[in-house]
Structure 1
Amino acid sequence: MTTPDDTLLYDRPARDWLSALPLGNGMLGSMVFGGSDLQRFQINDGLAWSGSPASESIDPVDQEGFAATLAEVRAQLLRGEYVAAEKTATGLQHRHSQSFLPFGELTIAVAPHGDVSSYSRSLELATGLHLEQYRVAESSVTWTSFVAAAPGVLVIRMNTDLAAGLDLALSLSSPLRVLATEYGPSGASLRLKAPSDVFPPHDAGGVAYSDDPAASAQGALAVRWEHDGSDVAEAGVLGAQGVHALTIYVGTQTTLAAFGAVPTGDADSALTIAQDRLAVAMAEPYAHLLDRHLLSHGELFGRVRLRLGARPTPGEEPTPTEEPTPSDALAPTPDAAPVPTDRRLALANEHPDGAVAADPGLAELLFNYGRYLLIGSSRPGGAPANLQGIWNAELPAPWSSNYTININLQMNYWAAEAVGLTECLEPLFDLIDLLRMTGTRTARELYGAGGWAAHHNADIWGYSRPVGHGRAKPRWALWPMASLWLVQHLWDHLEFASPGDPASDEFLRDRAWPAIRGAAEFGLDWLVELPDGTLGTVPSTSPENAFLGNGETAEVGISSTMDLTMLREVFDHVAVLGERLGLQSDPVVMRAAAALPRIPGPSVGRGGQIREWLADDPQVEPNHRHMSHLWFLHPGAIQATPELKRGASASLDARGRESTGWSLSWKIALRARLGQGEEIDELLRLVFRDMTVDRGGQSGGLYPNLLAAHPPYQIDGNFGYLAGLVEALQQSHAGELELLPALPPSLPDGEVVGLRGRGGVTTSLRWRDGLLVSAEVTSGSEQTVRVRYGERVWDLTLTPGQPQPVPLDA
């Protein structure tokens, strides 16, 4: 059963891409526009990227020249010549990663034979169904669309009781190079070629194609349809007249057989695979295909249930207010039609206390949407969710719609473990495996280091070198620390597993240990001994910030707090895992143990704030969107002292609230770790802003389809909000399970079922008037778990599969 808080609802077709609604199964994505006269389905294939594994080697690295440049940068920094070091550091840049591509578009021109009324379209998050309904004269028309995980096709269904039926004309197009187009009486197809090189929009270069078959992938978009009307022969379209029942099947395929692999085959072979997939779908009754989709999607989506806002007891009348408020327009009345989501968002923003205070269900809806988007954009066998998940219509795409790995990719997955979507992490782990291979070469060739390194950007081919073409700002282009951040997800996966789980031991041995050990080894080789005897990083950036060095703006310095924090945390992980594996004498384990005491931890400096660089030089941009120096607080798990917490709070105060979408989400998670629910409320005001209004600058909010604004659209804002709200409701990083650690005052009533915590525990919570009224903890193994609520602490002995109530009344 769907509710207004797991459904996006609209009373008109999408005007543009940011009003269209997303469907996806992790491999195939579609943005659905709807429309009574023209149906539009913009199509993406998760494995459609420009370039190939050879793209990273287009411009070979002069290893001797690179080493000399790095040595000069280090010498300049140690002499305090920051501006000179910044200029020299541009010589450490390679080229750019490749881009995620739009794949194609399916359009269906519709002749309805009458006036259209009572239009509605909706996206049911719990079912993964896009529904569109309207009336033509006195007759109904219904369109239903979904992307089935198996056999991996987009399915579009139309039914109408209109006496004359509908006249339809279906056509395909693509922004990629079209090698061949075919239309027949029951199907159509495009054979496609991907670009060999796509520069990011912020760089000169554009889009290039190559005749070399090894330089890029090829692919195919295939469509089949079944209907009860009469076929119409028309050039360049599939035509039919008098249609009352229609089913369309859409399939995609590229020559990329596996994530990061060398493309094999051609557009013809890709088309054969896509058509075979369509044949499998068509051989199954539609009802069975739909039922299997509902089961597959529902099994993932149904693992967590969140309800926010007070729900009156059946039969109990709500207390009327003396003065109407803007939120009254959101309150349901008998037989009243639900408020469309875009109108609902706009009305909620009129409330003086903010959108969430006016309509807590919006916070619930966006939480559900985040889980829906992760299910739709990241599934086993596919690629990780990129900057736009799996949905992109532009070539070139903003920021190449790639993997920005100085926070954005990681933020996509912050909440995956806690909301029970562990399977959705599999593509991320695949990318880490790939980057470990390509990054080993990068570490060796560029830095003469062991282990593996990755930088600011990555792509489906495992690009791991510093980007920029020698003309980018080092503040973002020069950052070789991505491996140390990425492996945090491997550590978290081990932490969330039940003690004694054999699968966890296998994951540790085969995937986590090689990657974490390799990141630590690179970190050890990257460290240099400083004049005071400590170990530090030279050069060092704090993505993507700058400071005042000797009175001038400088982007490259010595020992950013983020660098040192990540090194300390990974070295701690190596020690713990080395002991678990009986590898205490491993040379990396031993070196890490020796280095750890010599690496400074985060500390409070100028203005009572956390130092962003060890030298604590003045800031150029005090309200910068990145909070890299607070990494230790979140997503790191270093146990912060009261002094560090005060410093982190002061740092957040100085940064201010206003920022991009993903930055607002990070601030929510950081404030949650500090237990500051009131500050989360202030951030929620900004997260839920209606972005149909020009906010100016880089101001976050929500577009009509509730996708988060960077601006432009970036999906990390949606996923970051999901993670931040989880941190407000439950935390488990500090060795105990803390319940409602930072509940926002605007969400005084609610309940959540199915949140996961470290140690393989699952919780159910219910709160009223801001106070926890009931809680249960379930474990996957026999263990004792410390549970905290405020100042109260309980040690619960848990039996596998048996919910254990928290004795709040004791």
Structure 2
Amino acid sequence: MMTLWYQEPARLWTEALPLGNGRIGAMVFGDPNQERLALNEDTLWSGTPRDLNPKNKADTYRQVVELALQRRYHEAQTRIEQELTSGWSQAYLPLGDLKLSFTGPGVSGPVDRYRRQLDLGQAIASVSYERGGVAYSREAFVSAPHQVLVIRLTANRLASIGLDLELASPLRSNSQAQGDTLTLSGEAPGFLEPIYGQNQDKTVTYSENPTERGIRFTALVRALPEGGQVTAAEGKLQIRAADALTLLFAVRTSFNGFAKHPFLDGAEHVKACQAQLDAASVLPYAVLRQAHVADHRALFDRVSLELGRSEREALPTDDRLRLFRDDPADPSLYTLLFQYGRYLMIASSRPGTQPTNLQGIWNQEVRPPWNSNYTVNINTEMNYWPSFSCNLAELNEPLVAMLKDLSQTGRVTARDVYGARGFTVHHNVDLWRLSSPVGNQTKGCAAYAFWNVAAGWMCSHLYEQYAYTHDLDFLRRTAYPILREAALFFLDILVEDHDGTLIVCPSSSPENAFIYEGKPCNIAATATMTMAVVQELFYN
């Protein structure tokens, strides 16, 4: 059975169960007294469109090439870090938390028969337990067909459901309650300094200057009880004595494309959010659930894997993992992990959404590790390796769409930093399609920043799509123009090494160092990985 299950609530965010429809993400904790759903929306990032490329640096780059060809690597690295690096990427942000604080008899006395689970085959997280002689259950899922998060609470005794409902955000925002609906309106910071940045005195910046203001968002929660009553008070909804309860959550942002200012030229998001909530509200829970499961299974059920059965399948998942450390003889755990990977891809990447970032679409930190961005020196590519081999071809579309965007921003980077044609991308990308070599002149940043073959690597995903599908229209209209532009960049920067071999110079092996002249160094004349990517691109 493709289920993750546990006998206690999540204590940490990393223990919560992930749900998503590619755009909306939720982490479900499952506490009997206070349920928390940590929420995300895939276009809610800090920042605005900006050009961080170092300008008119072609001569500097050529001088660095000569230093590297002369094996003066330390000098080359110093000049790269001081003259060819840009500011940092912006960050993927949390929307906030939906909190259900339970009231009445359901919060007193011991909890029995507790079970928290994620059904991978249906993409539904559920919690069930008994308390005070009443059996309580909750189900939650994020619907792709209807673009809402749906939560259903039931009990086997009438009038047993009571709770206070609150929606809050760590971003600049305000929450209001009216009738049966909570409204959260807010704004992302116009700039965010990462946790590894130099300016730790000014980390999260909100501005009143319209040109510096960030993405706005609207989120709505509607309570639809069966029996009982709903009242609005002090920014919360109070549900009392309900027989059953359905909660619907919708969210939209003002993000209007990587090149458009989200405040000055942002997308309409208030009416769009309201329309999605209203459309879902008129449908019975059973209809919403059926549409969601059918949509998910159309993707998930395409692949099965059988590696054998195990007696441990009856154990909670965390117990199985503990036993696995000492005795890995649990073949069906491998199957569960394989299908969990497919599940996460379905939940975090759908046609029309943003690609999966470092944390998929799930993040609770305003200043997350590595800005929860797109790290394209392996992580983003790894996210999409299962697209075709695991029969999820259409989920590759967000990566292709991002590469189209990067072929535009990366053209500016190729021209301004290298004096080259085509386009290039370095190791960090964000919602605004940053393509420049980040590092902000930090000593040692060349280890990761000055790696200009990310576009070539991502292009392998375009060729793989053609190899699997033989879609000539995709090849002509989409893949080949991008492949050609990426190849043009390398044609312009290839130089001859001492033995006449054409190389990309200088280069680095991402995030690696070697000892040269008695000191750590990151820059060399070229690197095996660099040339492997270039050769594959030319071959494709």
Decide: shared fold, TM above 0.5: yes
Report how far residue 539 of structure 1 moved.
1.0
| Matches for 1:399-478 after TM superposition, within 5 Å | 399-472=370-443, 473-478=445-450
Report how far residue 268 of structure 1 moved.
11
Q: 1:50 & 1:458 partners in 2: Cα distance?
A: 13
Paired residue for 1:208?
Answer: 205
Q: 2:53 & 2:348 partners in 1: Cα distance?
A: 34
Q: 1:476 & 1:186 partners in 2: Cα distance?
A: 50
Paired residue for 1:523?
Answer: 490
Paired residue for 2:525?
Answer: 558
Q: Which amino acid aligns with 2:72?
A: E
Paired residue for 1:350?
Answer: 326
Does 1 or 2 have the higher relative contact order (CA < 8 Å, sep 6+)? 2
Counting aligned pairs with the same residue, the percent is: 38
Structure 2 residue 192 is matched with structure 1 residue 198: yes
Q: Secondary structure at the match of 1:491?
A: helix
Structure 2 residue 134 is matched with structure 1 residue 139: yes
Report how far residue 256 of structure 1 moved.
1.3
Q: Which amino acid aligns with 2:178?
A: G
Q: 1:331 to 1:521 in 2, by over 3 A?
A: closer
Paired residue for 2:218?
Answer: 220
Q: 1:92 to 1:388 in 2, by over 3 A?
A: same
Q: Residue 254 of structure 2 contacts residue 267 of structure 2 at CA under 8 Å; is this kept in 1?
A: no
From 108, 113, 129, the equivalent of 2:100 is 108
Q: Residue 104 of structure 1 contacts residue 221 of structure 1 at CA under 8 Å; is this kept in 2?
A: no
Q: 2:155 & 2:309 partners in 1: Cα distance?
A: 39
Q: Residue 256 of structure 2 contacts residue 265 of structure 2 at CA under 8 Å; is this kept in 1?
A: no
Report how far residue 233 of structure 1 moved.
4.5
Q: 1:267 to 1:283 in 2, by over 3 A?
A: farther
Q: Residue 180 of structure 2 contacts residue 232 of structure 2 at CA under 8 Å; is this kept in 1?
A: no
Report how far residue 86 of structure 1 moved.
1.4
Q: 1:93 to 1:268 in 2, by over 3 A?
A: closer
Paired residue for 2:278?
Answer: 279
Q: 1:97 to 1:521 in 2, by over 3 A?
A: same
Q: Secondary structure at the match of 2:388?
A: coil
RMSD: 1.8
Report how far residue 537 of structure 1 moved.
1.7
Q: 1:117 & 1:368 partners in 2: Cα distance?
A: 30
Q: 1:516 & 1:230 partners in 2: Cα distance?
A: 59
Q: Secondary structure at the match of 1:303?
A: coil
Structure 2 residue 23 is matched with structure 1 residue 52: no
Structure 2 residue 362 is matched with structure 1 residue 362: no
Paired residue for 2:31?
Answer: 35
Q: 2:466 & 2:263 partners in 1: Cα distance?
A: 35
Paired residue for 2:295?
Answer: 296
Structure with the greater alpha carbon radius of gyration = 1
Q: 2:355 & 2:312 partners in 1: Cα distance?
A: 39
Structure 2 residue 529 is matched with structure 1 residue 571: no
Q: Which amino acid aligns with 2:60?
A: T
Q: 2:435 & 2:23 partners in 1: Cα distance?
A: 23
Matched residues, number: 530
Q: 2:260 & 2:121 partners in 1: Cα distance?
A: 34
Q: Which amino acid aligns with 2:205?
A: A
Q: Secondary structure at the match of 1:349?
A: helix
CA deviations over 1:141-190 (Å, ceiling 9, x no partner): 11010000022000000011235512210001101111x32111201111
Report how far residue 366 of structure 1 moved.
0.5
Report how far residue 126 of structure 1 moved.
0.3
Q: 1:82 to 1:331 in 2, by over 3 A?
A: closer
Q: Which amino acid aligns with 1:489?
A: H
What TM-score comes out, normalization by structure 1 length?
0.64
CA deviations over 1:562-620 (Å, ceiling 9, x no partner): 111111111112xxxxxxxxxxxxxxxxxxxxxxxxxxxxxxxxxxxxxxxxxxxxxxx
Q: Residue 53 of structure 2 contacts residue 436 of structure 2 at CA under 8 Å; is this kept in 1?
A: no
Q: Residue 457 of structure 1 contacts residue 463 of structure 1 at CA under 8 Å; is this kept in 2?
A: yes
Q: Residue 188 of structure 2 contacts residue 215 of structure 2 at CA under 8 Å; is this kept in 1?
A: yes
Report how far residue 132 of structure 1 moved.
0.8
Report how far residue 234 of structure 1 moved.
2.7
Q: Residue 255 of structure 1 contacts residue 265 of structure 1 at CA under 8 Å; is this kept in 2?
A: no
Q: 1:25 to 1:265 in 2, by over 3 A?
A: farther
Q: 1:279 & 1:129 partners in 2: Cα distance?
A: 22
Q: Residue 30 of structure 1 contacts residue 391 of structure 1 at CA under 8 Å; is this kept in 2?
A: yes
Q: Which amino acid aligns with 1:80?
A: R
Report how far residue 548 of structure 1 moved.
2.2
Structure 2 residue 337 is matched with structure 1 residue 341: no
Paired residue for 1:86?
Answer: 77
Paired residue for 1:712?
Answer: none
Q: 2:79 & 2:265 partners in 1: Cα distance?
A: 44
Q: Secondary structure at the match of 2:355?
A: coil
Q: 1:532 & 1:350 partners in 2: Cα distance?
A: 52
Q: 1:67 to 1:267 in 2, by over 3 A?
A: closer
CA deviations over 1:600-655 (Å, ceiling 9, x no partner): xxxxxxxxxxxxxxxxxxxxxxxxxxxxxxxxxxxxxxxxxxxxxxxxxxxxxxxx
Q: Which amino acid aligns with 2:308?
A: G
CA deviations over 1:300-334 (Å, ceiling 9, x no partner): 000001122148xxxxxxxxxxxxxxxxxx547xx
What TM-score comes out, normalization by structure 2 length?
0.95
Q: Secondary structure at the match of 2:139?
A: strand
Q: Secondary structure at the match of 2:457?
A: helix
Q: Which amino acid aligns with 1:107?
A: K
Unaligned 5+ runs, structure 2:
none
Q: Secondary structure at the match of 1:306?
A: coil
Report how far residue 197 of structure 1 moved.
1.3
CA deviations over 1:186-231 (Å, ceiling 9, x no partner): 0111111011112221113322122233442111111111112123
Q: 2:177 & 2:265 partners in 1: Cα distance?
A: 20
Unaligned 5+ runs, structure 1:
312-329, 333-337, 499-503, 574-810
Q: 1:401 to 1:200 in 2, by over 3 A?
A: same
Q: Secondary structure at the match of 1:506?
A: helix
Q: 1:277 & 1:223 partners in 2: Cα distance?
A: 11
